Structure 1
Amino acid sequence: MSTSTTPLRVALIGYGFAGKTFHAPLIRSVPGLALSTVVSRDATKVHADLPDVDVVASADVALADPQLDVVVIASPNDTHAPLARAALEAGKHVVVDKPFALDLVEARELAAIAEREGRVLSVFQNRRWDADFLGIRQLITEGRLGEVTHLESHIDRFRPQVRVRWREQPGAGSGLWYDLGPHLVDQALCLFGLPDRVWASLAVQREGGTVTDWAHVVLEYGQRRVILHASMLVAGGSPRFVVHGTLGSAVKSMIDPQETQLLAGMRPGDADWGVDPDDLLLYDGSGNVERVPSPRGDQSRYYAAFRDAVLGQGDNPVTPQQAITVMAVIEAAIASAAEGHAVELALSAAERDAWASAAHR
């Protein structure tokens, strides 16, 4: 196992889109973390990008390695909970890509195991460090919009053809709501806390589609309404954020550029990393429009904070308690869409208190 003077040795389980595009480059960009092992059945693919790492075909091999400190799980959604459970019981600290689990039962079990084993368990909510979200949060925190009455958060794409990949095929944890819902929900909870009720409509809109590819979810906070929306059939014209308040409104048109930058080979530390040229537009209600520069995003800050938490030098950036509340909203939306009415969160008083404590550290 690593000491505070040597890098934490990391195993990455899964080298599909998430592992290749996000986890591997972000881990490798953070001092104090060393990506030493990748679990994949395609060693050639991994070594084309990462010639210096060990590639093993089985997660069991990685979990049995006493030299590994951290396991990052970027495999299909239905494997998240079983792999996280096994890694925690093997004495590893664990990062789970979203969604944390498939349901509240699994999420609660993982939180309990992490506490029992004394390991750091965290969820990869990298979009807390997106430029668009940071900009909107800054305007809200500074009070420039007054009391927020309405917020819309969109992650829309244009992919009219159904692709043959697990995210778009029938199976546990597939579909757009499990894919993008955790990001949308987590950001909303960071801004406003736990909603009173959740109302949702989920649909399959693409020809040949078999899983959810359109989601419209409303979080109720007293008189405030927060709309979370995702679609695979939006070619353009849909802003990332729209916020209305008692002192003004804000619009953020474009999504954070870091995913595009990573796909293009840019890495944290590069000159333009996280720079978002798309300003926020701030409307004051008197016909004036102010252009507010977007803050610089940096998703590698997630892994820097996780490193510090493992070393006992900082807080877990995304706690199991926070992940449980996200899972509660995901489940409430699914229930609401099926039942046709708004649904309250299935959280205990202790879970609500734990979330509040983690949120206000």
Structure 2
Amino acid sequence: MSTPIKTGLCSYGHSGYAFHAPFLHVHPGFELTAVTERSKHLAQQRYPYVKIYPDVMSMINDPALELIIVNTPNYSHYEYTKAALLAGKHVVVEKPFTVNSAEGEELIELAKKQKKRIIVYQNRRYDSDYKIVRKVVEEGLIGDVLEVEFHYDRFKEELSYKKHKEAASPGTGVLYDLGSHLIDQALTIFGMPEAVFGDIRIIRKDSVVDDYFELLLYYPNLRVRLKSSYLVKEALPAYILHGRKGSFIKSKSDIQEALLMKGVLPDTPDWGAEAPAEWGLLHTEADGIIRKEFLPGGNGNYLDFYKGVYAAIREGKANPVTPEEGLNVVKVIEAGALSSKERRVVTL
């Protein structure tokens, strides 16, 4: 393996601790070189070899770094991604790629000019539950898909302690936060829709940001409904698919985040294995034979994302998640917001 990719992590909060640092640590193709932390220096307690910077711009301008992970608040994705590209770095930027599509288009052009990679971090493509859903569709197990519903719900009346998540500013709210995951999953399987209808609301008592949404994506012979709410006590199945041959129903069951928050490193052979109790139900009928069984979910593994990042940067292969794909997610968010505001279907 060639020289490890020296990497700087812009934040060591929840995402830095759970979703990025552990995988950069265990993948031999990366060196977690630097982390931005203003005061606590928690990263050094777990990774003593890292260099700590007090602010993001100082780290971005470190000439030793080759890759910058932009995992800061949504509104800052454009600023820091642009700064990293101008400093000659490759960038992994968390979802949403940017707050608006104009910013995303500018960054895509800048990356081409700088001859650097922008890779959007969409880890939920590597969840065990989503992977089996995609397999069911691609293998035609329920025939032509006619109706789909994806849920990403929580039950949390109280506001987040992270002030930037609850401020009425660009890029905040559940549509940008959890919606970015659901939209990306839908687009990855079914492509861009022809039109979008959106219903976006604020339902928690003291909230000033949206915490409920429903999007309806229109395809020629398919409807995809994406829903999220912060006030769902009894969760519905996360994935409901109906096709000409049958149905597939699946819970949200990926265990990686829970393990990572406990400090478990993602370096075991059974990493991300799904419990049999969470397997999805397939119910079909073909040639007069009824098939009703639970399908193994397999393993989720966010390390596959970073394997893709390494292959893109070191081997010149395609990005695991392209900035154009990230831009499409933003375009659907914008269409959903406009639809909700004007109470009409918005054509893309």
Match of 2:294 among 291, 296, 301: 291
Q: Distance in 1 between matches of 2:46 and 2:168?
A: 31
Q: What's the CA shift for 1:44?
A: 2.8
User: Which residue identity does 1:300 align to in structure 2?
Assistant: L
Q: By how many angstroms is 1:264 displaced?
A: 1.9
Q: Determine the C-alpha separation between the residues in 1 that align with 2:306 and 2:205.
A: 39
3-state DSSP of counterpart to 2:328: helix
1:230 aligned to which of 228, 234, 245 = 228
What secondary structure does 1:297 align onto?
Answer: coil
Q: Which amino acid is 2:272 matched to? A: G
Matched with 1:92 is 89
After the TM superposition, which residues 156-305 of structure 1 pair with which residues of structure 2 at under 5 Å, given as runs? Answer: 156-165=153-162, 166-277=164-275, 278-284=278-284, 288-305=291-308
Mapped to 1, the partners of 2:10 and 2:222 lie a distance apart of: 40
Look up the equivalent residue of 1:342 and give its one-letter code: V
Q: How many residues align?
A: 342
- CA shift for structure 1 position 94: 0.3
CA distance in structure 1 between the aligned counterparts of 2:322 and 2:248, rounded to whole angstroms = 30
Q: Do the aligned residues in 2 keep the contact of 1:261 with 1:273 (CA within 8 Å)?
A: no
> What is the deviation of 1:267?
2.4
Deviation string for 1:178-208 (max 9, x for gaps)?
1011111111111111101000101111111
| Counterpart position of 1:31 | 28
Note if 1:102 corresponds to 2:99.
yes
Cα distance in 2 for residues equivalent to 1:237 and 1:66: 48
Instruction: Report deviation, 1:288.
Output: 4.7
Paired with 1:292 and 1:55, the residues of 2 have a C-alpha distance of 45
| Inter-partner Cα distance in structure 2 for 1:313 and 1:113 | 18
Q: 2:235 and 2:176 mapped to 1: Cα distance? A: 24
Whole-Å Cα distance in 2 between the matches of residues 304 and 43 of structure 1? 30
**The residue matched to 2:41 in structure 1 has which SS?**
helix
Q: Retained in 2: the 8 A contact 1:129–1:297? A: yes
Work out the CA distance in 1 between the residues paired with 2:282 and 2:39. Answer: 48
Deviations, residues 268-303 of structure 1 (Å, cap 9, x unaligned): 222431111111100125765211100211111111
Distance 1:7 1:17 in 2: 25
Instruction: Write out aligned runs for 1:24-103 (5 A).
Output: 24-103=21-100
Structure 1 Cα separation of the partners of residues 79 and 13 of structure 2? 18
* Alignment-derived partner of residue 135 in structure 1: 132
Structure 2 runs not aligned, ≥5 long:
none
- Whole-angstrom CA distance in 1 between matches of 2:45 and 2:320: 31
* Mapped partners of 2:328, 2:70: distance in 1: 20
Q: TM-score, normalised to structure 2's length?
A: 0.95
**Which residue does the alignment assign to 1:19?**
16
Supply the distance in 2 between the matched residues of 1:332 and 1:179 (Cα, whole angstroms).
16
Amino acid at match of 1:335: L
For 1:122, what is the secondary structure of its paired residue? strand
Report deviation, 1:312: 2.8
String of CA shifts for 1:157-181, please: whole Å, max 9, x gaps: 1111112322123222111111011
Q: Greater shift after overlay, 35-44 or 176-185?
A: 35-44
CA contact (8 A) 2:23 2:303 kept: yes
Indicate the percent of aligned positions where both proteins have the same amino acid.
Answer: 36
Secondary structure at the counterpart of residue 347 of structure 2: coil
Shift of 1:45: 2.4
Offset of 1:21 from its aligned partner? 1.5
8 A contact 1:266–1:273 mirrored in 2: no
How far did 1:313 drift? 4.0
User: Which residue among 301, 308, 311 is the counterpart of 1:308?
Assistant: 311
Deviation of 1:10 (Å): 0.1
Letter aligned with residue 33 of structure 1: F
Q: Distance in 1 between matches of 2:115 and 2:63?
A: 17
Q: TM-score, normalised on structure 1?
A: 0.92
1:140 offset after TM fit, Å? 0.8
Deviation, 1:242, is: 0.5
Q: Structure 1: where are the runs of 5+ without partners?
A: 346-361
Match of 1:353 in 2: none
Does the 8 A contact of 1:39 with 1:57 survive in 2?
yes
Provide the C-alpha distance between the structure 2 equivalents of 1:288 and 1:181, rounded to a whole number of angstroms.
Answer: 33
Cα distance in 2 for residues equivalent to 1:301 and 1:176: 26
